[in-house]
A and B are shown apart, each in its own frame.
Chain A
Amino acid sequence: MRRLTIAEAIREALREEMRKDPNVILIGEDIGIPGGWGGPFTVTQGLAEEFGHERVIDTPISETGIVGMAIGAAIMGLRPVAEVQYCDFLFCAMDQIANQAAKLRYMSGGQIKIPLVLRAPTGATGRGAQHAQSLEGLFINISGLKIVAPSTPYDAKGLLKSSIRDDNPVLFFEHKLLYGSKGARKERGGVELLGEVPEEEYTIPLGVADIKREGKDITIVAKLLMLHRTLEAAEELERDGISVEVIDPRTLVPLDKETIINSVKKTNRILIVDECPKTGGWAAEISAIIVEEAMDYLDAPIKRLCTSDVPIPFSPVLEGYVIPTKDRIIQAVREMLG
């Protein structure tokens, strides 16, 4: 089967949905400029050429304006895919996201719907604290938003197509170090990620986790870059006879609790690895679910391996220290298995 990068897979999803549905439009900074970048990570390259500047809308640096305009257009039945260049800039548009996109349908008693996708690159790449946050976990606290976080090209394409067709606001987080270097900006420390993506059309429903590796001794739940570090760790642990089951939730909201709980019932141990900060984070939510719904199956305390509760520091040595690594995942598993 042919292999694509995540950037290519996302581009293909956008192209297919735009060909199929004239209501799908793109809104963002530097996404369609001739001779330009196709967005900060090349994802929209070629789309302005194919669909024109009416549907690939380059904007000023106006995040509130971008998200607000996308919301209004969505209410009127367009299907905007808006984007910010780094997810840190979601904060600039926080009112539109949290008070408007997430709530207008509810407040209207269900009169309107907001079929909007907001793409946001997440994760740390050595640029310092304002270009480094992993914010996908934070947004699960705002009811009314769906949160998607794909880790492979196959998942990215199928989930983006479903997100565009979904009638709700979807925040779609892409990890900067997973875009893959082919056709995308090469980031130091990036994963050379090519994945199989079939030619035929497919979608992946939101709310279905994927067991990325089967195992019996311990369950690890991880997403985005941490999923890949976990898979590497699992490979190494296997050589020592430790069998790790790795679950990729793929969407944080809605969350496929069942797959995670069933896995815990089988392995009786769970480690959550997350690039979001530990306190009040996504890993805490997963832990709480396990305590509430599968406590009796646990043979060891739940463990969270998360980014330290600090702004992400600049220097590579410091950044490396605060974010979970393969070695720290391995160490945590060994500790849990005694």
Chain B
Amino acid sequence: MIELSREKLLLLYRQMLSIRLFEDRVYQLFLLGMVPSTLHQYQGQEAVAVGVCAVLNRDDFITSTHRPHGHAIAKGVPMKRIAAELFGKVTGCCRAKGGSMHIGDYSVGMLPAIAIVGSGIPIANGVALAFKLRKTKQVVVSFFGDGATNNGSFHEALNMGAIYNLPVIYVCENNFYGASTHISKVMKLENIADRASAYGIPGVVVDGMDVLEVYRVASEAVNRAREGEGPTLIECKTYRYSGHSRSDPANYRPKEEVEFWKSRDPIFQFKKKLLELDVLSEKEDNRIRSEVEKEIEEAINFAIESPLPSPEIALEDVYA
């Protein structure tokens, strides 16, 4: 196992828990009709966002997708600004203009999430190009799903990232479904990571339910990128517990499959490990949980109490 300080281990745990409990709470409020629109939720995939972002510095960047809440929390977007954005409040991180699918906060290194599948990947290359030309040693991580890897943007971007040796890490969250479609119906390869070889860059498969494994693989890729050795494609095998969006009952998935993945729950597994390592005790766990719950309640209350935007601001921000 990799060497991580106790503080770092507990931070990973706390962040995963924050994402899980935040998403659960937002879903409750969604059912009560308090959250407009729809939601693409992240429960089950927490180890990916947390394991990867834990390697990044604040001034490193990420691009995200229609499923961005987990990435946002892991990259350090203040939870209350995320909540307010979901509620369509003016205090949201995107001034209520973006919504659930476009969460982002430039100040912490998260571009507004991009909901056109695959479209964030070439943009990540551009961010990386700027870092490279300026020799800043910053890196960029592009998160995307398995579905995105069948889109032209993915292939164009990987090739370009490779030829220009860009400081970018392509992190594919393979949750086995693009919307209702199982990956086996739309791809002949077993591993998405194999696609890296077509572009002459390393491709690595990692257990996306194991935060320490994700962290280890991400560290290597980030080091490579910082040292000017170019991009890596990381495929994290993971699972989304919810339907694709909150209007999807996900009847296309066998129950046993869902149960299998839930039995490998990333938070539960990591907690077990931390207990074994004596890094965590049940008491400590309870304390962390209640702290996280408190933070979430504060964020939600902030969102609820925040004012709606005044309608005229709809006309602002179009041009710089």
Contact = CB atoms under 8 A, between A and B. Distances in A.
A310 B99 contact: no
A310 B96 CA distance: 14
B115 A130 contact: yes
A317 B181 contact: no
Interface string A39-80: 000000000000000000011111111000000000000000
A158 interface: no
B38 A127 contact: yes
B252 A129 contact: no
A58 B315 CA distance: 39
Most chain B C-beta atoms within 10 Å of own C-beta, residue among A34, A130, A314, A317 = A314
B308 A317 contact: yes
Q: How big is the B interface, by class?
A: 35 or more
Contacts of A88: 116
B98 A128 contact: yes
A275 to B, nearest CB: 15
Contacts of B187: 60
Nearest to B116: A130
A298 interface: no
Contact of A60 (B98, B100, B186, B318): B186
Interface string B114-130: 11111100000000000
Nearest to B38: A127
Interface string B307-320: 01101111100100
Contacts of B100: 128, 314
A316 B88 contact: yes
Interface in A304-333: 308-311, 313-322
Interface string B146-188: 0110111000000000000000000000000011111001110
Nearest to B114: A130
Nearest to A189: B36
A37 interface: yes
A281 to B, nearest CB: 16
A266 interface: no
B115 A33 contact: no
Contacts of A30: 179-181
A136 B309 CA distance: 29
Contact of A127 (B37, B116, B178, B312): B37
A61 B148 contact: yes
B5 interface: no
Nearest to A64: B152
Given A308-B314, A310-B314, A60 B116 contact: no
A198 interface: no
A29 interface: yes
B251 interface: yes
Contacts of B309: 315, 317-318
B118 A61 contact: yes
A229 to B, nearest CB: 18
B101 interface: yes
Contact of B312 (A29, A320, A321): A321
Contacts of B314: 308, 310, 313, 318-319, 321-322
B36 A315 contact: yes
Interface string A13-44: 00000000000000001100111110000000
Contact of A314 (B96, B311, B312): B96
B304 to A, nearest CB: 14
Contact of B37 (A35, A62, A126): A126
Contacts of A185: 247
Given A36-B251, A92-B116, A131-B115, A62 B152 contact: yes
A98 B103 CA distance: 32
A34 B88 contact: no
Contacts of A131: 101, 115
Contacts of B37: 125-128, 188, 314
A40 B37 CA distance: 15
B101 A130 contact: yes
Contacts of A311: 97, 318
Interface string B88-122: 11100010111111100000000000111111000
Nearest to B87: A315
A29 B181 contact: yes
Among all A-B residue pairs, the 7 with the closest Cβ atoms: A314-B99, A315-B88, A60-B150, A36-B180, A315-B96, A321-B311, A35-B252
Interface of A: 29-30, 33-37, 58-65, 88-89, 91-92, 125-131, 185, 188, 308-311, 313-322
11 contacts: A33-B180, A35-B180, A35-B252, A61-B186, A126-B36, A128-B37, A128-B102, A129-B98, A315-B97, A321-B314, A322-B315
